[in-house]
Structure 1
Amino acid sequence: MRPDEVLQIEDRRFAALTIGSARLEELFRGCRWAEGPVWFDDLNCLLWSDIPNNRILRWTPDPLTGGGVSVFRQLSNFANGHSRDLQGRLVSCEHGTRRVTRTEADGRITVLADRFEGRRLNSPNDVVVAGDGSIWFTDPTYGIQSDYEGFRADPEQPVRGVYRIDGHSGAIRRVAEDFFQPNGLAFSPDGTRLYVADSGTGPDGSQPRHIRGFEVQGDGLRGGGVVAVIDRGVPDGFRVDREGNLWSSAADGVQCFAPDGTRLGRILVPQTVSNLTFGGPRRNRLFLTATTSVYAIYVRTNGAQRP
């Protein structure tokens, strides 16, 4: 796509966040459903999930060839979303095992959560790490609805919730439960707000298309009003830049919202975007997982400096 076909400016503030001449680059094609991108600055690589193919892939930039892709982990337990903890370790949500795990420096896998109140989790979906080391994740039922992205099973949890794992004790607490299907989540740059996407379908067939904002109060949340509404498809994964703007996945690409919920503009992508992350040495390159492909585009802002 030509640069003039990629950016759609709806508010002049979006022009200051984007680069008019930047190209949308397709870095890789060949996934069944690409998800969960996470950037490793110290290793200069991007990891992401190819959920139905049960693998995690790795892209490493190369100035001559544009980059190469290799398999980071085959039989990933149908991993979906990823983040990094304060020590730089990979934290992952696994549909197949219905758990949240951490990959240690020596490659061992540590289980952080697989049950709550004696019942198995539904299928942890996406995860973020707070400045105090606590781990927050969403637990919809997408991974147990069929055998395509996990294993078909009945939910054991009475709700589809958002959870917090204490970074010191490992204690698990449910912090929100009034979602149809909680999905992506991200903190504001100062860590005082947690945004959570809702992308499920209600009993009457209605489908939330919004991102909600909560105030973080210790180990819990308060509030939860709608702060942004997607008008094409539903919000899946999203990230926040250093100014607090939300960059959300959508059916038409990426939709960018100011902290007050005003939609500023769009990055149009040929495929439905599932998730995204800021990366590169200056965190000014937006990496997008979009159905079968991974794309990248440079922007004029930087990702919030969080794992």
Structure 2
Amino acid sequence: MITWSNRLLLMTTLLGGSNSIIYAQTTKPLITVERLTPEFNKLVGKNVNARIIADGFAWCEGPLWIEGHKMLLFSDVKKNIIYKWTKEKGKEVYLNPAGYTGKVPRGGELGSNGLGLNIKGQLVICQDGDRVVSVMNAPLQKPQAKFIKIAANYKGKKFDSPNDLAFLSNGDIYFTDPPYGLEKNVDDPLKEAPYQGVYKIAKDGKITLLTNTLTRPNGIAFFPGGKTVLIANSDPAKPYWYAYDLDKNGQFTHGRIFYSAKAASKTAEGMPDGLKIDKQGNVITSGPGGIWIFNKTGKLLGKIKVNDLASNLSLSADEKTMYVTSNHRVLMINLR
């Protein structure tokens, strides 16, 4: 059964050939599953199903499943709110304000974006409006709009709008910094750096610029072992996923294109955006048309096409459930 908005509708599932389509009583199915390889079937079973668990947002992003508390956190970037979803209570306001704490009214993507947990179990927040990466200075179960800035500038120049986070087991945090949080994007007069960067926050607080060559760095995640990182580039001119190896100092080396979405971006909405990498090294990422799944070598295994723009995703601890932020709503997809 799939829920469309808050209504229960009769579903019809067609399973045949290499593809399966899950239909709802609407003009579009919630998801369409495109099976390209046998490996895909091990990750996405034939009984895959989806439902909307929360909606009514302006633009949701940065989902984070926290297994210990059985809760999903996610950002409404335009409303400056972090929401919480639980099976028992549904959606609730978790933190407000979440990304912009200034007093001067402003528009655009001013709220929080990417969310994550550091090695101490604290909530780390990409704060678009404040242009910083911060740690919430409060317990997860008693959130407060109190923040400790852990990255505010690089060599005196403010970041544009920190977007997404990846964590190494040694405590280092990597983050991307595209211009989307600036009200006028790359043409905003408040933009200080002449490039878009990917940075590292070392456990001692030192900030290092890792690359300034990506035009729109967005989603970021490490492959198992922490020796290689994957970054989504959300630029229509260069809609690629890039891979970098890490040297002994945790800096980037051997940069290359992991996969190109150039052809697909001409026929489907969306860009390479948020991503996760599972325990086996499979890449699950939002891209043109929905969710793309690759193996660790960059072979496209299949897609879960979503009938609205998919921005990001999070996986449950057992990796059998995926939570997808999709425009004004959040989907829960039971993979197997």
For 2:198, the equivalent position in structure 1 comes to: 162
2:238 and 2:35 map into 1 onto residues whose CA distance is 25
For 2:114, the equivalent position in structure 1 comes to: 81
One-letter identity of the residue aligned with 1:299: L
SS in structure 2 at match of 1:196: strand
Check the 8 A contact 1:7/1:20 in 2, yes or no: no
The structure with the larger Rg is 2
With normalisation by structure 2, the TM-score equals 0.81
SS in structure 2 at match of 1:256: strand
One-letter identity of the residue aligned with 1:74: N
For 1:303, the equivalent position in structure 2 comes to: none
Q: Does 1:196 align with 2:231?
A: yes
For 2:254, the equivalent position in structure 1 comes to: 223
- Structure 2 gaps of 5+ residues are 3-11, 14-19, 22-31, 101-110
Q: Does 1:99 align with 2:132?
A: yes
Instruction: Please provide the CA RMSD for this pair.
Output: 1.8
Count of residues in Structure 1 that have an aligned counterpart in Structure 2: 286
For 1:8, the equivalent position in structure 2 comes to: 34
For 2:301, the equivalent position in structure 1 comes to: 264
For 2:169, the equivalent position in structure 1 comes to: 131
- Structure 1 gaps of 5+ residues are 202-206, 301-307
For 2:329, the equivalent position in structure 1 comes to: 293
Give, in angstroms, the shift of residue 245 of structure 1.
1.1
1:123 and 1:242 map into 2 onto residues whose CA distance is 29
2:259 and 2:46 map into 1 onto residues whose CA distance is 25
SS in structure 2 at match of 1:15: helix
Give, in angstroms, the shift of residue 153 of structure 1.
4.2
2:80 and 2:189 map into 1 onto residues whose CA distance is 18
SS in structure 2 at match of 1:143: coil
2:76 and 2:288 map into 1 onto residues whose CA distance is 18
Match of 1:185 among 211, 215, 220: 220
2:226 and 2:299 map into 1 onto residues whose CA distance is 21
Give, in angstroms, the shift of residue 284 of structure 1.
2.2
Give, in angstroms, the shift of residue 34 of structure 1.
0.7
Residue by residue, what CA displacement relative to the aligned partner does 1:107-152 show, whole Å, maximum 9, x if unpaired?
43110011110111111111111111001000111111449xxxx5
Match of 1:54 among 77, 80, 84: 80
Q: Does 1:31 align with 2:57?
A: yes
SS in structure 1 at match of 2:78: helix
Check the 8 A contact 2:161/2:180 in 1, yes or no: yes
2:278 and 2:335 map into 1 onto residues whose CA distance is 10
Check the 8 A contact 2:49/2:335 in 1, yes or no: no
Give, in angstroms, the shift of residue 252 of structure 1.
1.4
Give, in angstroms, the shift of residue 104 of structure 1.
2.9
Check the 8 A contact 2:278/2:319 in 1, yes or no: no
SS in structure 2 at match of 1:110: strand
Q: Does 1:113 align with 2:139?
A: no
**Percent identity over paired residues:** 29
Match of 1:282 among 314, 318, 324: 318
One-letter identity of the residue aligned with 2:326: A
Q: Does 1:212 align with 2:237?
A: no
One-letter identity of the residue aligned with 1:75: P
For 1:204, the equivalent position in structure 2 comes to: none
2:33 and 2:123 map into 1 onto residues whose CA distance is 32
2:302 and 2:189 map into 1 onto residues whose CA distance is 39
1:237 and 1:156 map into 2 onto residues whose CA distance is 25
One-letter identity of the residue aligned with 2:97: L
1:197 and 1:251 map into 2 onto residues whose CA distance is 12
- Tell me whether 229-238 or 253-262 shows the greater mean CA deviation: 229-238
Give, in angstroms, the shift of residue 58 of structure 1.
0.5
Q: Does 1:172 align with 2:207?
A: yes
2:45 and 2:60 map into 1 onto residues whose CA distance is 25
One-letter identity of the residue aligned with 2:61: E
Residue by residue, what CA displacement relative to the aligned partner does 1:226-273 show, whole Å, maximum 9, x if unpaired?
112232431010101111111110231101111121111111211110
For 1:141, the equivalent position in structure 2 comes to: 179
